[in-house]
């Protein structure tokens, strides 16, 4: 931290908050509010002011276990080593002003707004520790000797409230037994369903520390499973066992004060014996997991970074782009995008820095040409001019669409990833995509279905999962009937209902829509909207009189070549079972209705269905 502060090219802005972020990758304009510290930079951290200050409030850094004054330094090693006045608690007695020899205290300071032009942003807003008070069975806050992991950490710290001496809070005696309870509030559907990942190792480390400093203290770790899955962790776990830390496979069910002395009794089922047991402990430590830091949501809103189901920042892709946020040029590091231990956080921080330099080292940034754009011919077509629409804004997980009140929506091309999910849902049909223009896709549909359409399976496939899945079937020499014809689009979210209706109007035997599995969608939400749209469409088609087997939606990943081959085999079989006669009859029956559904295509000058038919 000191190195970072000293570095000539690193500008550390502490006590500041990002208020607004405008622009896009390479050209962000960030508004930062620098809050007043009321102490000028001339301060030499002598600490005379602290002695003069009459106010005492709980110290947040020491987990409220010790007091601090209204003028304070958050902790001894803080960078920069600067004092600050907590204006919420300061009573303005100005005793510190008199005490300061260097006259560095200045109550006239006000918060200032700073605007910065930056090329890329790393979000490393960290996490908070879960407050175990709602776990009423453990009695945190009710029994004095039930503490959480950060509190124990402060008690053991040489600069902490007890100068590193481990005592139990009730009577300041050294405890005879210390019990750690793992997964307190984690892996728990009632609170946080995820595993925080670091608590097992943190508890083992602390337990080992206690055993080494106080060999007379018995240390128990109550666990469901110990997750020691990284390099060197299992060896560390073994070392803890060697040093006499007792591991008990049990999740205690409740904690009660013991009748005799001021200790506690833990009730739980010893899984090894399969019967309820009681354990006595003087000090119980709840190994609480991580929860998103306060303000994670607001900051995400300012940078257009969405949150996952647990409230952490969502990565672009959990496996392939774990450092990138959905907004191009904004990267994620550390526990802000999910609980992590130290090695993993350091690795992610380094990766985020490398990803930033990839953008910053270039004069110009090249982006993929496959971006959405508003159709230029009718600028007033956008509904947003007259009323509030903004469907495209909602569809875009990357923040590339903007719809300001009273103005037509527009695309920020530098942010657009080119999935095309916004296009099918535009009520005015006012958006299109380079290289995947509606006209191009209609042309492909027509070309494939020009002759003997009844014998064909028209398969729409997404770029990242289903097409490589079909490829996988090919490279693995998996046999499937030659009746399928594939149309590749960027994302299943790009597939318009009209494409399928048009295929059936042209007499297609079968239509397959395929894309990534929901959790693997390379455009975050594209599959979700595709699924919604296709579920509705299949009902419509059935109502029109097209047999349900003729329209199929399957989610096929890049590794599922076998599934692709199987789906095509099944569809081919179904095609034969239904028979050409019935397909033709159904097509003839529905033709007029389909024609009516697709009438709007001929209205748009850009999609002259008739001329396309002629050229195809």
> Applying CB under 8 A, which residues contact other proteins?
137, 183, 187-190, 224, 250-254, 267-271, 274-277
Question: Residue 303's closest CA among 608, 530, 23?
Answer: 23
Is residue 224 a contact partner of residue 187, using CB atoms and an 8 Å limit? yes
Give least dist CB 11 to other proteins, A.
45
CA distance readout (Å), 561 to 312, 466, 495, 515, 527: 34, 9, 22, 13, 19
Nearer to other proteins, 197 or 430 (CB): 197
> Which residues lie closer than 8 Å to 267 by C-beta, 6 or more apart?
252, 253, 254, 255, 256, 276, 277, 278
Give least dist CB 251 to other proteins, A.
4
Residue-wise DSSP of 80-126:
S---EE-TTT-----HHHHH-TT--B-TT---EEEEEEES-EEE---
Nearer to other proteins, 164 or 276 (CB): 276
Give the DSSP H or E segment for 535.
Answer: helix 526-544
Nearer to other proteins, 189 or 212 (CB): 189
Nearer to other proteins, 193 or 580 (CB): 193
- Mark residue 67 as left, alpha or beta (left: phi above 0; alpha: psi -120 to 50; beta: remaining): beta
Q: Which residues of 229-263 are buried (b: 16+ CB within 10 A; e: fewer)?
A: eeeebeeebeebeeeebbbbbbbbeebebeeeeeb
User: In the numeric block, which tokens belong to residue 94?
Assistant: 């100005």
Nearer to other proteins, 98 or 272 (CB): 272
Nearer to other proteins, 250 or 299 (CB): 250
Cα 205–206–212 angle (5° rounding)? 90
Give the DSSP H or E segment for 269.
Answer: strand 264-270
Give least dist CB 288 to other proteins, A.
14
Give least dist CB 276 to other proteins, A.
5
Cα 434–303–78 angle (5° rounding)? 145
Nearer to other proteins, 253 or 615 (CB): 253
Give least dist CB 177 to other proteins, A.
18
Give least dist CB 563 to other proteins, A.
24
Is residue 257 a contact partner of residue 282, using CB atoms and an 8 Å limit? no
Tell me 453's DSSP state.
G
CA distance readout (Å), 524 to 131, 410, 530: 31, 21, 12
Give least dist CB 253 to other proteins, A.
3
Nearer to other proteins, 288 or 296 (CB): 288
Which position has the token pair 């050409």?
580
Nearer to other proteins, 215 or 274 (CB): 274
Nearer to other proteins, 58 or 276 (CB): 276
Give least dist CB 226 to other proteins, A.
13
Question: Residue 179's closest CA among 83, 263, 65?
Answer: 263
List phi, psi (to 5°) of 512.
-115, 135
Give least dist CB 146 to other proteins, A.
16
Give least dist CB 131 to other proteins, A.
17
């Amino acid at each position: 931290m000191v190195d970072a502060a000293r570095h000539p090219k690193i500008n550390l802005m502490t006590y500041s908050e990002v208020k607004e972020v405008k622009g896009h990758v390479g050209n962000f304009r960030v508004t930062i509010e620098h809050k007043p510290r009321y102490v000028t930079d001339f301060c030499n951290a002598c600490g005379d002011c602290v002695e003069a200050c009459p106010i005492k409030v709980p110290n947040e850094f020491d987990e409220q276990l010790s007091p601090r004054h209204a003028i304070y330094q958050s902790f001894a090693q803080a960078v920069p080593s600067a004092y600050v006045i907590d204006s919420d608690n300061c009573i303005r007695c100005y005793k510190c002003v008199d005490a300061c020899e260097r006259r560095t205290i200045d109550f006239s300071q006000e918060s200032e707004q700073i605007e910065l032009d930056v090329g890329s942003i790393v979000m490393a807003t960290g996490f908070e520790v879960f407050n175990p008070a709602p776990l009423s069975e453990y009695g945190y806050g009710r029994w004095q000797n039930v503490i959480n992991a950060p509190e124990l950490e402060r008690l053991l710290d040489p600069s902490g409230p007890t100068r590193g001496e481990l005592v139990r809070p009730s009577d300041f005696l050294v405890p005879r037994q210390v019990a750690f309870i793992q997964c307190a509030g984690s892996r728990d559907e009632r609170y946080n369903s995820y595993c925080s990942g670091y608590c097992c190792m943190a508890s083992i480390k602390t337990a080992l520390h206690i055993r080494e400093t106080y060999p007379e203290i018995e240390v128990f770790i109550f666990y469901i499973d110990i997750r020691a899955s990284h390099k060197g962790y299992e060896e560390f776990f073994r070392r803890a066992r060697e040093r006499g830390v007792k591991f008990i496979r049990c999740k205690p069910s409740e904690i009660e004060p013991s009748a005799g002395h001021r200790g506690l009794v833990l009730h739980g089922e010893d899984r090894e014996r399969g019967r309820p047991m009681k354990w006595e402990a003087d000090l119980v430590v709840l190994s609480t997991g991580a929860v998103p830091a306060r303000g994670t949501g607001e900051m995400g809103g300012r940078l257009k970074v969405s949150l996952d189901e647990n409230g952490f920042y969502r990565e672009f892709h959990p496996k392939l782009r774990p450092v990138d946020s959905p907004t191009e040029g904004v990267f994620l590091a550390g526990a802000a995008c999910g609980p992590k231990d130290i090695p993993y956080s350091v690795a992610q921080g380094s990766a985020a820095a490398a990803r930033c330099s990839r953008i910053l080292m270039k004069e110009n940034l090249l982006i993929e040409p496959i971006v959405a754009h508003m159709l230029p011919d009718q600028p007033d077509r956008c509904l947003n001019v007259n009323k509030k629409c903004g469907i495209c804004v909602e569809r875009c997980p990357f923040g590339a669409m903007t719809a300001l009140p009273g103005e037509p929506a527009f695309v920020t091309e530098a942010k657009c990833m080119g999935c095309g999910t916004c296009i099918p849902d535009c009520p005015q049909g006012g958006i299109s995509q380079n290289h995947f223009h509606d006209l191009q896709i209609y042309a492909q549909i027509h070309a494939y279905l020009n002759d003997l359409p009844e014998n064909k399976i028209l398969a729409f496939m997404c770029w990242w999962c289903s097409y490589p899945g079909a490829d996988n079937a090919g490279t693995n020499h998996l046999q499937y009937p030659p009746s399928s014809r594939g149309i590749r689009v960027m994302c299943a979210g790009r597939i318009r209902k009209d494409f399928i209706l048009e295929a059936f109007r042209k007499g297609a035997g079968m239509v397959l829509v395929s894309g990534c599995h929901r959790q693997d969608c390379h455009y975050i939400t594209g599959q979700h909207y595709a699924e919604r749209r296709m579920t509705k469409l299949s009902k419509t088609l059935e109502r029109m009189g097209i047999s349900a087997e003729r329209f199929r939606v399957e989610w096929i990943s890049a590794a599922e070549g076998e599934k692709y081959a199987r789906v095509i085999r099944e569809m081919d079989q179904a095609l034969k079972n239904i028979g050409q006669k019935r397909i033709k009859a159904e097509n003839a029956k529905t033709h007029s209705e389909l024609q009516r559904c697709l009438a709007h295509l001929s209205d748009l000058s850009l999609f002259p269905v008739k001329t396309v038919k002629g050229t195809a």
